[in-house]
Amino acid sequence: MKYQTYLIDLDGTMYRGKAKIPEARVFVDNLNQKEIDYYFLTNNTTKTPQQVADNLTNNHQITAKADQVVTPSLATAAYIKDMFGEDISNHSAYVIGEYGLKSAIFGTGIKLNEYDPDVVIVGLDYDVTYHKFELATLAIKRGALFIGTNADTNLPNERGLVPGAGSVISLVETSTQQRAHYIGKPEPEMIDFAVEAKKFDKSSALMVGDNYNTDIKCGISAGVDTLLVYTGVSTHDDIKKVSVKPTHEVESLDKWDV
Amino acid sequence: MKYQTYLIDLDGTMYRGKAKIPEARVFVDNLNQKEIDYYFLTNNTTKTPQQVADNLTNNHQITAKADQVVTPSLATAAYIKDMFGEDISNHSAYVIGEYGLKSAIFGTGIKLNEYDPDVVIVGLDYDVTYHKFELATLAIKRGALFIGTNADTNLPNERGLVPGAGSVISLVETSTQQRAHYIGKPEPEMIDFAVEAKKFDKSSALMVGDNYNTDIKCGISAGVDTLLVYTGVSTHDDIKKVSVKPTHEVESLDKWDV
């Protein structure tokens, strides 16, 4: 079948860290040539959609606009807007995270409140401190809703695999004896948010990614067909072991007939 | 039976936060009168033994000397001394913790090394940052031994139940996909360390505390008789539910015949 909407992962799929994946650029050029809609679904909450699009365009020559970028920051903002509705400016949040997350959350009109917020949102924060963990812990124990942006335990940097959002969130899960409500892949929330915000049909959409445990599981749980590309995390051996296979598999994205 | 050595918990047993427990003072006075040996076993790693003894003496009028205080900091220091022996100054450690922990660890002669230590020790640190978590994570992933001082998820302060050492350690457990080797109560290590360092007989020792899950379990796992006092965490209802009961139970320590 020919898919009308592509949902595309970034790291391992469009590039590898700072290294280019030339076949990815060919694939996106093909989508553009056939005027097929595509969106980038990343678990990165530290950057704004504009920063993510600029990185793709300037460093990887992959055509991307800010409104094609979907992140847990945006999906979380939509989630709290749904929850509080028109009345959101009378509610408050405490956020552990970088500017990408904070700008999305406080862009909804919700107020910042360190002591008695309605909701605590925890994501990756390179400046996290004990004080921030204490505020989050006390607020959740007082009854605030606890949202975790994404469960990724690690992310790669030039020094190795450093703590990811999932590790930061696990401290707060331990200190509150509560599990966070997660938004990022592999949860279906980001795809459901994209369907709602971008108005496309799930049944003709395809989730494309290199990581079975995040990208492909996200597609499966949202009820969207999936394409695993072997340019990143998951290997053929990994996929032999899983019971629910990706809908499609491909060695590199230039081999995929859009 | 008359016990010859008492191992006594602090918070909930000798005092409640800053509040006095007058019966605790009577109990320690009785021990002194009968010239029975006693030691304080606390999971607090942030203070030095001298600071712990000073707090008991000055704020609670309970007779205590620094060499009567046993902490995970001291037991961890003994553990790495055992492991590295005479050669300890050719080994190195990275420590997340307060001065109480650092002074005990580096007092052994082991070197500080942020990048390639032989052992990483994680405890409660009110100034913990992402950078410290990153250093610990990378070192453990490179093969350093991973020690956690104690598993307490929370501790009380004037604002509520804030994150404890166990919460701080859980971040590093998640980011390294490894479980720490724990030293503090309920593990038996602190009692075993005390037996070795203070030269007393386990079979005539009694572990006294208010918390079944830390103090009493510590005594049980070390093979020492236990006395639960109902002035702190554990309630009669809690103890009804456990299968291995404390050897003795008492409402307050002045009721205990030493």
User: At A131, which CATH number?
Assistant: 3.40.50.1000
For residues A57 and A110, what is the distance between their CA atoms, to the nearest angstrom? Answer: 32
The answer to whether A191 and A218 have CB atoms below 8 angstroms apart is: yes
Burial of A86 (0-12, 13-18, 19+ CB in 10 A): exposed
Tell me the catalytic residues of B: 9, 11
- Residue A119: what pLDDT? 98
The answer to whether A221 and A243 have CB atoms below 8 angstroms apart is no
Tally of domains within chain B: 2
Mean pLDDT by 10 residues, chain B (258 residues): 96 94 97 98 96 97 97 98 96 98 98 97 98 98 98 92 97 98 98 97 97 97 98 96 98 96
Are residue A177 and residue A208 in the same domain, yes or no?
A: no
The pLDDT, as a whole number, for residue A1 is 81
Q: Is B213 domain-assigned?
A: yes
**Chain B residues within an 8 Å CB radius of A163:** 130, 133-134, 137, 171-172, 174-175
Residues from chain A contacting residue B126 (CB–CB below 8 Å):
130
How large is the C-alpha radius of gyration of chain A? 18
**Residues of chain A with C-beta less than 8 angstroms from the C-beta of B130:** 125-128, 163, 168
Which residues of chain A are modeled with pLDDT < 70?
none
Which two three-digit tokens encode residue B98?
Answer: 């307060």
**For residues A178 and A170, what is the distance between their CA atoms, to the nearest angstrom?**
10
Residue with tokens 């809908």: A247
Inter-chain CB proximity B130 and A127 less than 8 Å: yes
- The reported pLDDT for the residue numbered A197 is 96
Last residue of a domain, one of B182, B216, B232: B182
Helix (H) or strand (E) holding A72: helix A72-84
Contact A129 B134 (CB under 8 A): no
Whether B129 and A125 lie within 8 Å, measured CB to CB: no
A173 shares a domain with A97: yes
A62 is a domain residue? no
Per DSSP, helices labelled H in B154-198 are 165-176, 189-198
Considering only alpha carbons, which residue of chain A is nearest residue B160?
A: A138
Cβ contacts below 8 Å, chain A against chain B, sum to 97
Q: Looking at the structure, tell me whether residues A228 and A144 fall in a common domain.
A: no
A155 and A200 fall within a common domain:
no
In angstroms, the CA A226 to CA A144 distance is 35
Length of chain A: 258
> Residues B178, B193: one domain?
no
| Residue A243: inside a domain | yes
Residue A207 · residue A227 · CB < 8 Å: yes
Domain match, A111 and A153 both: yes
> Residue ranges of the alpha helices (H) in B17-48?
22-33
- Kindly tell me the burial class for residue B199, based on how many C-beta atoms sit within 10 Å of its own C-beta (0-12, 13-18, 19 or more): exposed
Q: How many CB atoms lie within 10 A of CB A235?
A: 11
Q: What is the pLDDT of residue A54?
A: 98
Which tokens belong to B166? 């166990």
How confident is the model at residue A17, as a pLDDT? 87
Q: Is A160–B138 a contact, with Cβ atoms under 8 angstroms apart? A: yes
Residue B210, domain member (yes or no): yes
Domain with B144, as residue range(s), is: 85-182
In terms of domains, do A178 and A190 share one?
A: no
Is B164 an 8 Å CB contact of chain A?
yes
**Gap between the Cα atoms of A253 and A208, Å rounded:** 9
As a dihedral over the C-alpha atoms of residue B4, residue B9, residue B10, residue B14, rounded to 10 degrees, the angle is -50
Same domain (yes/no): A192, A176: no
Residue B161: CB atoms within 10 A of its CB come to 16
Closest by alpha carbon to B40, among B65, B62, B17, B8? B8
Phi, psi of B74 (to 5 degrees): -65, -40
Tell me, yes or no, whether B174 and B199 share the same domain.
no
B192 within some domain: yes
> What does residue B7 show for φ and ψ, rounded to 5 degrees?
-115, 115
The answer to whether residue A174 neighbours chain B at the CB level (below 8 Å) is yes
Residue A205 lies in a domain: yes
For residue A61, being part of any structural domain is answered with no
Residues contacting A236, CB < 8 A, separation 6+? A230
Measure the CA–CA gap between B96 and B75, rounded to whole angstroms.
16
**Sign of the dihedral through C-alpha B192, B194, B197, B203:** negative
Query: Which residue among A182, A205, A233 closes a domain?
Result: A182
Instruction: Identify whether B73 is part of a domain.
Output: no
pLDDT of residue A205: 98
For residue B254, say whether it is annotated as part of any ligand binding site: no
Same domain, residue pair B141 and B192:
no
Q: What residue has token string 């390294």? A: B176
Q: Is B183 helix (H, G, I), strand (E, B) or coil?
A: coil
Check whether residue A112 and residue A193 sit in a common domain: no
| Same domain membership, residue B208 and residue B147 | no
The tokens describing B155, both together, are 């501790």
Of A137, A155, A182, the last residue of a domain is A182
Q: What is the pLDDT of residue A249?
A: 98
Determine contact: A134 vs chain B, CB below 8 A.
yes
